[in-house]
Amino acid sequence: MYQSSRRFPVPIIIAFGMFVGLLLVALFTVPRLEDISPTPESRGVPSTAPIRLTFSQAMDTVSVESRISIEPHQAVRFSWEGRTLSIQPVDPWTEGSAVTVRITAGARSIRFLPMLQGHSWSFTIGASRILFLWPAEGPADLYAILPDGLDRVQLTETTLGVLDYTLNAERNRIVYAAARQDGGSDLHALDLVSGEHRLVYSCPQEVRCQTLALDPTGEILVFERYEFTVWAAGKPVLGPSQIWAIRLEEEAEAFPIGNIDHVTSNPDWSSTGWLAYYDNTLKAFALVDAVDGPTPQPFYYLPNELGLKGSWSPDGAFILLPEIVFPEIESDEREEAEGPLAFYSHLYRVDVYTGLMEDLSGGQLGRVEDASPSYSPNGEWIAFTRKYLDEDQWTLGRQLWLMRDDGAEARQLIEAPLFGFSALDWNLDSSTLVFMRSDQVDLAQPSEIWLYEIDGGEATKLVVGGYMPRWIP
């Protein structure tokens, strides 16, 4: 019986092998989505959280951005850092909403290789919360709680307590100072989207870093730096403060800002990237346009006797500062006056571009102490504290007040003359204030955290023994 055998020509086998090889190479070299944030099906995501997509290789930005859709529809800003795309909502995501992100196949790398597979995932936005330190009488840690007082969560677990903290512009990242055994502190970052903790800066031995402030980009952290000194009795005490800065995303050394021979304090950033701090030596607020090592210098000084922290307007055009006011007294009246000359404090709005100052407290009010100003995020309102010094209206503690951004329509929100109000902070939609209330008769009583709804005029006690409250989305 005759049996014939057929063999494939060698060139065909070689060509087929090359095709399979090239196909495998293509499959392994096409761009892929390596990491996404927030993670799929995650809940309680901050309303200002960015969406981040990390690819396996450098991408053609236009081809990627054109293939992304988000539901519900929201205006967003795209930014790239290497292989990672960040999508930042212009306005916060709606609380309680489910956000779905889709990227279709076809997005190309810079080598023109396409993504072969699309991706889709969802996450749920959480409600706004209040961040605070607790307890006031012992080593404190950071906690978060809902406005209704429920779902209280501890965010840090430190041995010796958290000394201070700050938030980035989107309020979804915390940098806090944790106390050390030597009296110094270490600076840690907590990402409220991913939950990641990391050490960002270990202050030198016997050096304390506190009063933290992040710039609008979240890349530069400034702080008050204290070195311990020793008195004759041998007890270590904190020396004078100086403002220092460090770039968080770089392995760089911290560097001083301004004159290193001056005592400086109270750093505060504007939304435009200007840094204000108080120069105690010059009795003036210093303004720095850009912070870059080794020793950035101020370009402008605003004379100020009090040195109390103020508040930047949301657009960065104004800074609101408390300042001492001396009453206008005729020379003959001055000679007849008994005792020390009386003075009080008003809130002055300073145009940082022209230097013009305006008394928002109003010259007709007489003797009042206005302090603790806080601009609402929409720029329309200023919350502040006021204490009348005349006998008829005198109160033991500063009371909670509200006025328009030009000083008009000033009104008292809560009448509690035996208590003092401080640490005022607005939620993102400018509808509710959180603040600290302290008993001025019995100072041993723990401080309290309260909420106040502007429209409804309702005040609610939230936490006993907490302090330094801030809203987080």
pLDDT in tens, the chain (473 residues): 445 455 657 666 665 555 554 444 454 579 999 999 999 999 999 999 999 999 999 999 999 999 999 999 999 999 999 999 999 999 999 999 999 999 999 999 999 999 999 999 999 999 999 999 999 998 999 999 999 999 999 999 999 999 999 999 999 999 999 999 999 999 999 999 999 999 999 999 999 999 999 999 999 999 999 999 876 577 788 999 999 999 998 777 899 999 999 999 999 999 999 999 999 999 999 999 877 767 889 999 999 999 999 999 999 999 999 999 876 655 554 455 455 556 789 999 999 999 999 999 986 566 899 999 999 999 999 999 999 988 888 899 999 999 999 999 999 999 999 999 999 999 999 999 999 999 999 999 999 999 999 999 999 999 999 999 999 99
Q: What are the residues facing 221 on neighbouring strands?
A: 214, 246
Domain covering 158-303: architecture: 7 Propeller (2.130)
Token pair, residue 340, equals 């020390």
**12-124 and 158-303 in the same fold:** no
Question: Domain residues of the chain, as ranges?
Answer: 12-124, 158-303
394 Rama class: left (phi>0) / alpha (psi -120 to 50) / beta: beta
Radius of gyration over every alpha carbon of the chain, rounded to an integer in angstroms: 28
Contacts 24+ apart (CB under 8 A), 29-34: 29/113, 30/109, 30/113, 30/114, 30/115, 30/116, 31/55, 31/56, 31/57, 31/59, 31/107, 31/108, 31/109, 31/113, 31/114, 31/115, 32/56, 32/115, 33/103, 33/115, 33/119
As a whole number of angstroms, the distance between CA 353 and CA 272 comes to: 12
pTM score of the predicted model: 0.88
Pick the CATH number of 12-124 from 1.10.3720.10, 3.20.20.70, 1.20.1260.10, 2.60.40.3710: 2.60.40.3710
A 10 A CB-CB count for 463 gives 24
- Strands 153-154 and 141-145, bridge-based pairing: antiparallel
